[in-house]
Amino acid sequence: MKKTAFFSILILSLAACSGKKTEILDMKKQVLDLHEQVMADDEKAMNNKMKLDSLIKQAAAQKADTTGLQGLRATLVSADNGMMDWMSKLKVDYTNDDPEMVIKYWQYQQKVIKQVDALLVTATVESSAYLNKQKK
């Protein structure tokens, strides 16, 4: 009877650990997939930054006010810095003896990268709107 109870508990424990490992791998994949999407948004932001750099240079050469352009550029740079900061702190191989801590780590990373993406998208939309007006 004791052996049966022991093996039952062992099997349930192993199943629970396996479920946590799957959950951790799923969370990690979601975060890394989101990271790929955010990298595309970051690329758009940096393209807009380069266009603004050119406009700032032209405006400065004509002694025109560059305050608005500098503000748009600063927003793009700040959003990009957020991305670089997140990437530098990300521990792709994060481990802990407690699977719940690993799940919380990846949940936190997902929250942060979504915030970074929101900054990048906002900065890109604002700068694109300005750049599109300049084309007309």
Residue 83 lies in a domain: yes
Residue 100 lies in a domain: yes
Would you place residue 20 in the very low, low, confident or very high pLDDT band (cuts 50, 70, 90)? Answer: confident
31-46: per-residue pLDDT in tens? 999 999 999 999 999 9
pLDDT for the residue numbered 68:
94
Report the first-to-last Cα separation within the chain, whole angstroms: 83
Domain limits at 85?
A: 20-135
Query: Does 5 score more than 80 pLDDT?
Result: no
Residue 12 lies in a domain: no
Query: Residue 109 and residue 87: Cα distance in Å, rounded?
Result: 10
pTM score, whole prediction = 0.81
If you average pLDDT over residues 92-111, what whole number do you get? 93
Domain count, the chain: 1
